[in-house]
């Protein structure tokens, strides 16, 4: 698009924005911006709305404050949805056409019905997706929808339905065939490196030296990009290239020389230690699974000798779950379902107080890790509790923990739970310092994934199963 044409479109958009605001505000803006659903007979021949119309809506929406955006989304969802009268009329004709036993007529009627089941705002989204910056606008728009629903700024079935429609559209536009895999290096643009640093959600980047290390020797950083959102990573995966399956994050993100030359002979394992989605609006659009599969192929092509693929994953939610169980115990006086009598005595001797009440206070901070005696006393009970949390706690039959559910869906094995694997304040606070390896045995991932998705079966190692067995023997929830 030429600069002159872009300026002309922006000028027209500004004019189209001012006119509806003067005439009646949000309702007029939406009425002018959302194209009507063309008649079925002319659906292939109707011209697209002027680009200035879509640009006007984008400018109008971007200028709104948070509550106004929620109101705009709610009105768009409720007032520009499906033509229910047309759907009802066509649905009423189905039994009659079925009785005529004319397959062609029935198929045509069903096609017409499918067409009129499209909400009117879907045309607006399709139009915006073709504009410069339109795809990013729609991703951010869905993020606003999710925020409005979560914060209850706007509610109702219409907004939830619009969220589902837009998610479905984004799933098609961001399918793996339209994504580009790129490796991020220290030679990548400063802007991109800054974004990778800011988007890191698992192990925060400390400084530029830390960032240089994460894209340097024995490390790989990959991201998916979309041509409609240039320079904007959609999901980022960090990989450590090692000679064994890592059991702690300190050895991966520690401060070491960034100039060390890479020796391929020392690389036999690939550890996925961080995967971060960068776009809230793409929540529910599957990208992580495909990213890992693509990265595995890239690494196999670069290092044919790599034999082991594994994650080193955090366990978000464990401390919160454990505190909830401790609270339940406090409400049931005298009940102890988490620790053995011997463990209770040992912990009480160290802390000088009742186990349940004391641990509820201690586990909200990382201070307890400064006591070697307490760290040793808590190792066995917390290891078996986290094993049960990962393996036994379910949501609709699947693993309750979202990270576990993600890797198990991919066909990984719940392979090893690691004590004091993340001693950072964040790691201790979220998961009592523990991390877990989900190991990818490439020849078994398809089978494991199918068994998990169809039968809710979790493939786990002997270590994990032994810890689960100990929990079942010593704990009563």
- The three-state secondary structure class of 58 is helix
CB atoms within 10 A of CB 144: 20
Bridging pattern class, strands 308-311 and 394-395: unpaired
Give me the pLDDT at residue 47, please: 86
Query: Given 246, 269, 274, 313, which residue is catalytic?
Result: 313
- The three-state secondary structure class of 181 is strand
Domain spans of the chain, in order of start: 3-82+118-173, 177-311, 318-474
Residue 475's pLDDT band, with cuts at 50, 70 and 90, is confident
Residue 84 designated active-site: no
Query: Given 127, 158, 238, 407, which residue is catalytic?
Result: 407
Q: What are phi and psi of 153, to 5 degrees?
A: -70, -30
Q: 3-82+118-173 and 318-474 share one CATH topology?
A: no
Indicate the range of 9-18, 77-86, 146-155, 229-238 predicted with least confidence.
9-18
How far apart CA 439 and CA 404 sit, in angstroms, is 11
Interacting residues of 72 by C-beta distance below 8 A, sequence separation 6+: 26, 30, 61, 64
The domain made up of 3-82+118-173 is a member of CATH 3.40.50.360: no
The architecture in CATH of the region 177-311 reads 3-Layer(aba) Sandwich (3.40)
Looking at per-residue confidence, does 239 or 21 come out higher? 239
Percent share of the chain, pLDDT over 70: 93
Q: What are phi and psi of 241, to 5 degrees?
A: -100, 115
Q: Which residue has the tokens 């699974």?
A: 289
The mean pLDDT value of the chain amounts to: 91
CB 360 within 8 A of CB 354: no
DSSP letters along 421-469, please? S--SHHHHHHHTT-EEEEEE-TTTHHHHHHHHHHH-PPPB-HHHHHHHH
333 has a pLDDT exceeding 90? no
How far apart CA 445 and CA 443 sit, in angstroms, is 6
Give me the pLDDT at residue 6, please: 42
How far apart CA 178 and CA 333 sit, in angstroms, is 58
> Token pair of 152, please?
């209850």
Give me the pLDDT at residue 120, please: 96
17 has a pLDDT exceeding 50? no
11 has a pLDDT exceeding 50? no
The architecture in CATH of the region 318-474 reads 3-Layer(aba) Sandwich (3.40)
Overall pTM > 0.85: yes
How far apart CA 69 and CA 360 sit, in angstroms, is 41
Give me the pLDDT at residue 300, please: 96
Give me the pLDDT at residue 201, please: 87
Tell me the mean pLDDT in the region 216-232. 96
Residue 313 designated active-site: yes
Residue 258's pLDDT band, with cuts at 50, 70 and 90, is low
Rounded to the nearest 5 percent, the helix, strand and coil shares of the chain are 55, 10, 30
Tell me the mean pLDDT in the region 85-103. 90
63 has a pLDDT exceeding 80? yes
pLDDT digit string, tens, across residues 108-117: 999 999 999 9
Per mean pLDDT, which of 49-58, 322-331, 333-342 is the most reliable? 49-58
Residue 259's pLDDT band, with cuts at 50, 70 and 90, is low
pLDDT digit string, tens, across residues 419-466: 999 999 999 999 999 999 999 999 999 999 999 999 999 999 999 999
> Token pair of 122, please?
């879907």
pLDDT digit string, tens, across residues 154-170: 778 999 999 999 999 99
Give me the pLDDT at residue 332, please: 72
């Amino acid at each position: 698009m030429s600069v002159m044409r872009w300026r002309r479109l922006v000028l027209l958009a500004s004019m189209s924005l001012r006119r509806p605001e003067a005439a009646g505000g949000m309702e007029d803006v939406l009425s002018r911006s959302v194209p009507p659903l063309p008649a079925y007979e002319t659906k292939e021949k109707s011209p697209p709305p002027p680009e200035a119309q879509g640009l006007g809506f984008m400018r109008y929406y971007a200028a709104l404050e948070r509550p106004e955006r929620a109101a705009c989304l709610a009105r768009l969802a409720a007032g520009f949805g499906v033509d229910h009268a047309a759907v009802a009329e066509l649905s009423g004709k189905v039994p009659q056409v079925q009785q005529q036993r004319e397959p062609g007529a029935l198929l045509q009627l069903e096609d017409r019905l499918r067409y009129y089941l499209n909400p009117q705002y879907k045309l607006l989204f399709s139009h915006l997706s073709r504009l410069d910056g339109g795809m990013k606008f729609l991703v951010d728009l869905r993020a606003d929808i999710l925020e409005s629903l979560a914060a209850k700024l706007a509610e109702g079935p219409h907004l939830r339905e619009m969220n589902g429609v837009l998610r479905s559209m984004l799933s098609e536009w961001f399918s793996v065939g339209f994504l580009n895999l790129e490796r991020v290096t220290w030679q990548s643009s400063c802007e991109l490196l800054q974004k990778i640093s800011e988007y890191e959600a698992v192990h925060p980047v400390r400084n530029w030296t830390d960032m240089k290390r994460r894209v340097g020797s024995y490390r790989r950083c990959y991201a998916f990009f979309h041509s409609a959102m240039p320079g904007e990573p959609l999901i980022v995966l960090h990989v450590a290239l090692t000679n064994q399956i890592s059991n702690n994050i300190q050895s991966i993100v520690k401060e070491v020389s960034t100039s060390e030359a890479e020796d391929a002979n020392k690389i036999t394992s690939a550890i996925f230690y961080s995967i971060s989605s960068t776009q809230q609006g793409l929540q529910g659009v599957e990208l992580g699974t495909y990213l890992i599969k693509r990265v595995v192929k890239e690494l196999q092509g670069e290092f044919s000798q790599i034999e082991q693929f594994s994650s080193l994953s955090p366990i978000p939610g464990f401390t919160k779950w454990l505190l909830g169980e401790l609270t339940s115990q406090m409400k049931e006086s005298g009940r102890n379902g988490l620790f053995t009598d011997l463990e209770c005595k040992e912990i009480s001797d160290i802390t000088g107080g009742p186990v349940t009440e004391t641990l509820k206070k201690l586990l909200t901070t990382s201070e307890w890790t400064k006591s070697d005696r307490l760290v040793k006393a808590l190792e066995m009970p917390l290891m078996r509790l986290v094993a049960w949390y990962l393996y036994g706690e379910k949501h609709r039959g699947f693993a309750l923990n979202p990270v576990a559910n993600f890797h198990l869906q991919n066909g990984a094995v719940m392979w090893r739970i690691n004590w004091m694997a993340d001693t950072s304040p964040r790691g201790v606070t979220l998961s009592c310092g523990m991390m877990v390896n989900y190991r990818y045995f490439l020849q078994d991932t398809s089978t494991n994934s199918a068994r998990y998705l169809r039968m809710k079966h979790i493939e786990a190692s002997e270590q994990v199963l032994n810890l689960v067995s100990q929990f079942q023997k010593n704990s009563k929830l």
